[in-house]
Structure 1
Amino acid sequence: SGTPQGTIADFTIIANSVGGYSDTSYFSICIGKYHYLVWDPSPDHSSGPVINSSLQSLGYNGVYSQTLPATELDKYIAIFVSVGIYADNYTIQSGSVEANALINFLNNGGRMYLEGGDVWYYDPLYGGYDFGALFGINATADGTGNLNSVLGQSSTFTNGMTFSYSGENSYIDHISPQGSASLILRNSSPVYDCGVAYDAGTHRTVGTSFEFAGLVDGSPPSTKETLAASIMQFFGISVGVKEEQIGGLNLPKFYSLSQNYPNPFSEKTIFKYALPKASHVNISLYDVTGRCIKRLVNTNQEPGYYTLKINGTELKTGIYFIRLNSRDFSISRKCMVIK
């Protein structure tokens, strides 16, 4: 339990036979993978930190880096890459160590989000690696600077999302899905595609031709956190629950309220909480405006460990807060509903 997350452990196996034959094998495994890596090589680093903070706010554990740790990508379940918008952009060169590392990561079952204004259409014409096939993307035009309003698409995980765009806006590539990939984001006027999701079976990807940081938060589900949560759900990555240590007599020593699991959720999720002494407990669910949606617990409870199940079928897509109040303790947890 004391091994740091993301540690690469090296093992040596020596096999000896009765006849004197000896063979030695070596292998390495990653202990406790991080949920994500944000690689931000863009010169102005405008979007990567926003991606990172959004994922952290959702409870995910990851690393932000302006350089790619090409030999250590097996530490991460997903990689988020922001290469920027012209003229503050970075080109991932074809045949480079970076390109090859990302290709191998995907071919080994990784999940990857890639955003950039030129990475899809322009860069491959001038030495950049063409990620189109890996992302199920057909780049159709170099584009201009007219990205205004980004719309989610029905029957996808962006359904109901609408964003104004205030980020860098120059030569925004036009990209469309090919094969079994799905269109998830489109500019409203002029109409062109700017976001594609792809489940290749062996790997999953999301590609956009704008910057995540440029999306302007509106009313849920039209927020960057909701979009980040939706992408992670598409990637199949949920935030887990840490079990509480049980003290003497099987009673907790402290009040606690764990993060729910799964999170995000669509139908059901579970919270766990602990009471070190008999308490009157009030647990309620609130929306982002502070309105109480539902009172879940309002009673006297004995000390111990409790599990609370929440049915999300009647909840709309968005961010919610669950709040536990007692006479001596108060805590809130943020959760996400995705439909």
Structure 2
Amino acid sequence: ANQIDGFYWDFGNGYVPFFAVIGAYNILMYGDNGYQQAVDTVPNAIDSFNYMGVTNPIPDQILYFGDQVDINISNLFGSPNPGPIIVTISANTNPEIVTATLEDSILTLIANEVAGISNIALTGNDGVMDCVYQFDVHVVDPTARYVLILDLDTTPTGETLRNSIANFYTSGDVIVTNDLTSYPLSNADAVFVLLGIYSNNHILSEAEAAPIVEYLNNGGKVYMEGGDTWYYDTQTSLQPMFHLNAISDGSGDLSGVVGHDFLEGMSWSYSGENSWIDHLAPADGAVAIFSHSAGSYDCGIAYDSGNYKTIGCSFEITGLGGANSLDDAVEGIIDFFGIAGPQLAVPQNFAVTELGVASWEAPDSETLIGFNVYLDNNLVAQLGLETDYTFSGLSHGHTYVAGVTALYIEGESEEVQYTFTYSGTEADDNEFQLQTKLLNNKPNPFYLQTTISYQLSSKNEKAQISIYNVKGEKVKTFSELVADKGLGYLVWNGKDEAGKEVSSGIYFYRLETEERTFTKKMILMKK
């Protein structure tokens, strides 16, 4: 069905294959203009009727904690043989996420209170041969919030955008996907749709647009970029909601971009893909936020309906750089959408004695990983979770401004300052010495990625962190750890040395130095 749908959209853009060969179970086996290729495919199409196949596929499921769904699978498989087809559950990759049972042709799925994805495999046997069908079950925490990046660009840029958004969005995860049905839009604080630039662009279909339209009508926020989606491509019900006018198909002349409205005063060079960049202009109620640096046309329009908010662009935002950065543009968009989340809590009761001994209280947060200490606006130490520090190299009678910030997985808090006059008789040149230790990973359990924090007694200490499964097999090693003046941290994305996703379960992470070894446990809940 997906292949047929793909050819359907090719038809709509002027490409019509002359020959189509369809085999058993409506599987498109060939569609193009080569006569001989079509003829050669026919025997395979005929032969396909001699095998089992899937007649009524089960779509991927999205369930919230505690949800139950019953699916009739009596017509899931088809067979050329007359005997009954016996269906069994042959795999459930993460039974802690979803419970799957099969009785009297009814497949029952129950979502447990563990977020993640489990792959369900059903095997049909007609007494002669087997056929296997697989689908995913996504279990979602009903309280979870996130930003979704729907990356449909054939030269994807979603990961680069994700990293930038994560610097400013602190209310949940930033998730990159190419399947909008994998995550409930009702839990999304914003959706970013990346369609690409010709000839690596994706043409938005009405089926893809419809759930985004519904999301906007329910008060959503959507950013969408594409070089052809505004002027050249067939329009869906989504594009008009952006309140922009597509003036022309454009060309490949976008060398620089300037900002307007909430991006006023900013300018960027542009290094993204650059062909047929649609020329845009704001319609009633909308404003231009990006335009060609030569002032010849707009290429980014923002609109606030009072119910929903949109930003439509005709270039790749990840191509911005130069005088201002990608982060500058993304921060403005996050602020416009109003989804930055709560301010990161600062350290409390910060004070410094006349002898240069600083102390404070840590904020109550599960994502706190350490502190930065400043003296006269200069960073002097990066600490772990200890809440004191002794300044060194101070001069008697001199007045200083000390500062401290809290470090979180999400970023750094605002600085808290304290002014003091040093009354010591001589400077203490011995820096506060940290002990080497392995700190807790956060979050734990985790779904997409986790941050492992550690302390090293000196920046020259040789150390590495290795990750092991419950069998004692090493799956990943991080060597040459860096922790200048204290805290260091690394991010593990749940993949092994080969870049392959590991299964969910219990893992151990071990800090090894020349003198000591530290080990802690973490739980991964992702297939």
Q: Calculate the TM-score normalised by the size of structure 1.
A: 0.63
- Say if 1:70 and 1:101, in contact at 8 Å, map to a contact too: no
Change in CA separation of 1:57 and 1:331 when aligned onto 2, cut-off 3 Å:
farther
Query: Is the aligned partner of 1:73 residue 2:180?
Result: no
- The SS at the match of 1:228 is helix
Name the aligned partner's letter for residue 282 of structure 1.
Answer: A
Tell me, yes or no, if structure 1 residue 235 matches structure 2 residue 316. no
Per-residue CA distance 1:260-301 (angstroms, 9 max, x = gap): xxxxxxxxxxxxx9863475593279xxxxxxxx9933549x
* SS of aligned partner of 1:133: helix
Whole-Å separation in 1 of the counterparts to 2:236 and 2:197: 16
Q: Deviations over 1:207-240 (max 9, x none)?
A: 100001221x223xx2110110110000001243
2:418 to 266, 272, 297: 297
Query: 8 Å contact 1:232–1:238 — kept in the other structure?
Result: yes
User: 2:227 maps to what in 1?
Assistant: 117
Answer whether contact 1:132 1:138 (CA < 8 A) is retained.
no
Instruction: Say if 1:277 and 1:187 are closer, same or farther in 2 by CA, change over 3 A.
Output: closer
Greater RCO, CA 8 A, separation 6+:
1
Q: What is the root-mean-square deviation of aligned Cα atoms in Å?
A: 3.9
Indicate whether 1:182 and 2:287 are aligned. yes
Distance 1:241 1:48, change over 3 A: same
- Answer yes or no: is 1:33 the counterpart of 2:145: yes
Identity of aligned residues (%): 32
Mapped to 2, the partners of 1:225 and 1:86 lie a distance apart of 25
| 1:50–1:212 contact (8 Å) kept in structure 2 | no
Question: Superposed, which structure 2 residues align to 1:62-211 within 5 Å?
Answer: 62-69=174-181, 72-94=184-206, 96=207, 98-124=208-234, 128-153=235-260, 156-189=261-294, 191-211=296-316
- Superposition TM-score, scaled by structure 2 size: 0.42
CA–CA distance in 1 between the matches of 2:330 and 2:251?
A: 26
Q: Is the 8 A contact 1:284 1:295 kept in 2?
A: yes
Structure 2 counterpart SS, 1:90: coil
Asked if structure 1 preserves the Cα contact closer than 8 Å seen for 2:212 and 2:238, the reply is no
Question: Quick one: distance in 1 between partners of 2:370 and 2:333?
Answer: 29
Q: Which runs of 5+ in 1 are unaligned?
A: 1-5, 13-27, 259-272, 286-293, 301-327, 333-339
- Does the Cα contact within 8 Å between 1:120 and 1:131 map onto a contact in 2? no
The structure number with the bigger radius of gyration is 2
**Using the alignment, how far apart are the partners of 2:251 and 2:240 within structure 1?**
23
- Give 1:70 shift: 6.0
In 1, the alpha carbon distance for the partners of 2:325 and 2:361 equals: 40
What's the offset of the Cα at 1:131? 3.2
Does structure 2 conserve the Cα–Cα contact (< 8 Å) formed by 1:106 and 1:203?
A: yes
Matched, 1:8 2:64: yes
Which residue type is aligned with residue 189 of structure 2?
Answer: I
Aligned to 2:327: 225
Deviation at 1:31, TM superposition (A): 0.5
Distance 2:160 2:369 in 1: 32
Query: Deviations 1:120-150 (Å, cap 9, x if unpaired)?
Result: 11112xxx41533211111111111111211
* C-alpha contact 2:209 2:237 (8 A) present in aligned 1: no
1:51 equivalent to 2:172? Answer no
Cα separation, partners in 2 of 1:232 and 1:59, compared to 1, 3 Å? closer
Q: CA deviation at 1:117?
A: 0.1
Q: 1:188, CA displacement in angstroms?
A: 2.6
The 1:284/1:276 distance shift into structure 2, 3 A limit, reads closer
CA distance in 2, matches of 1:11, 1:242: 34
Which residue in 2 is equivalent to 1:25?
none
The amino acid across from 1:81 in the alignment is V
Corresponding residue for residue 276 of structure 1: 387
Distance in 2 of aligned mates of 1:174 and 1:130? 20
Structure 2 CA distance for aligned equivalents of residues 141 and 182 of structure 1: 18
Q: Distance in 2 between matches of 1:91 and 1:210?
A: 15
Pair 1:275–1:180, CA change in 2 (3 A):
same
Counting only pairs closer than 5 Å after superposition, residues 235-274 of structure 1 correspond to structure 2 as 235-240=337-342, 256-257=370-371
Native 8 Å contact 2:290 2:301 kept in 1: yes
Paired AA for residue 233 in structure 1? D
Residues 132 and 252 (structure 1), Cα distance of their counterparts in 2 relative to 1, 3 Å cut? closer
Alpha-carbon contact 1:8-1:31 (below 8 Å) kept:
no
Letter in 1 for 2:340: S
Say if 1:102 and 1:166 are closer, same or farther in 2 by CA, change over 3 A.
Answer: same
Counterpart Cα distance in 1 of 2:293 and 2:485: 48
Contact kept in structure 1, 2:252 and 2:275, CA below 8 Å: yes
